[in-house]
A = this chain, B = another copy of it.
């Protein structure tokens, strides 16, 4: 039985990530959230605030995946051009969404300046889009077809992901179990290779680390089948024990 695998692409939009000024937190946040939805993050691209670069990345990743997410560039300032870029990628116009306008009118009604032209930019959407609720601040996220436009600020994105939880079709979630060793991964490489080869529906990733002056590695076994996962983890632990390595189930 082959299960359908659902995949997503992610386009991170913003010069601030490419300059090193801002440390991205959305890749890990969205990746973890997708895992729980039974969707695998297949590729991420980080692109600058430049129209044609965003259009190209959006088209490349929305066509190859079940879902596309973008973060960044949906605020009120002149460098926020994600809505225009996605509209261009999809070949639709940009329109003001009445419900988004109403949300912003209400949100800014008691704030200095009220609903300025700049703030009204955040009600613009590609024609045909729906809104993704944002309980952290006024401006909503946007959903059109398989494309989801999220905020760049991580805690606002978190609120939008929350609103989307359970609304996207996914497959069996990828299960994982970790085994850790205070051993250089190079000493264990042969065991890993043999165990993975013997369990075709499992994957083993090896993640070395250097901590408290010692080297070690965590071995992460992944599968969509709980039974095959257990069998593979058992084989790995047996292999490590037979070779005389100390290991820590659950990881270090």
Q: A116-B187, A187-B113 are contacts. A42–B31 as well, Cβ < 8 Å?
A: no
Copies of this chain assembled into the complex:
2
Chain B residues within an 8 Å CB radius of A45: 43-46
Q: Which of A21-29, A92-100, A233-241 contacts B (4 or more CB under 8 A)?
A: A21-29
B16 touches A207 (CB 8 A): yes
Does A220 belong to the interface (CB within 8 Å)?
A: yes
Q: Quick one: which of B27, B28, B29, B186 contacts A119, CB cutoff 8 A? A: B186
Q: Does A127 contact B (CB under 8 A)?
A: no
Picked from B24, B111, B153, B205, the residue with its CB within 8 Å of the CB of A49 is B205
Is the interface on chain A under 10, 10 to 19, 20 to 34, or 35 or more residues? 35 or more
B77 and A189 contacting across the interface, CB-CB below 8 Å:
yes
Give the interface SS of chain A, mostly helix, strand, loop or mixed. mixed
Q: How far is the CB of A49 from chain B (nearest CB, A)?
A: 7
Contact of A17 (CB < 8 Å), options: B18, B19, B23, B31: B31
A193–B81 Cα gap in the complex (Å)? 13
Find residues 61-109 in chain A having any chain B CB closer than 8 Å to their own CB.
75-79
* Distance A30 CA – B192 CA, assembled complex (angstroms): 31
CB-defined contacts of A47 to chain B, threshold 8 Å: 43
Chain B residues closer than 8 Å to A32, beta-carbon distance: 19-20
Q: Could you list which residues of chain A lie within 8 angstroms of chain B, going by C-beta atoms?
A: 12, 14-25, 27-35, 40-49, 53, 75-79, 111-113, 116-119, 121-122, 153, 155, 174, 176, 184-190, 192-193, 196, 203-210, 220, 222
Q: A60 → chain B, closest Cβ, in Å?
A: 9
Extra inter-chain contacts (14) besides given A16-B220, A19-B31, A116-B187, CB under 8 Å? A18-B42, A20-B29, A20-B31, A20-B33, A20-B35, A22-B28, A43-B45, A45-B46, A76-B185, A76-B189, A78-B204, A118-B189, A118-B190, A153-B209
Question: Distance in Å from the Cβ of A82 to the closest Cβ of chain B?
Answer: 14
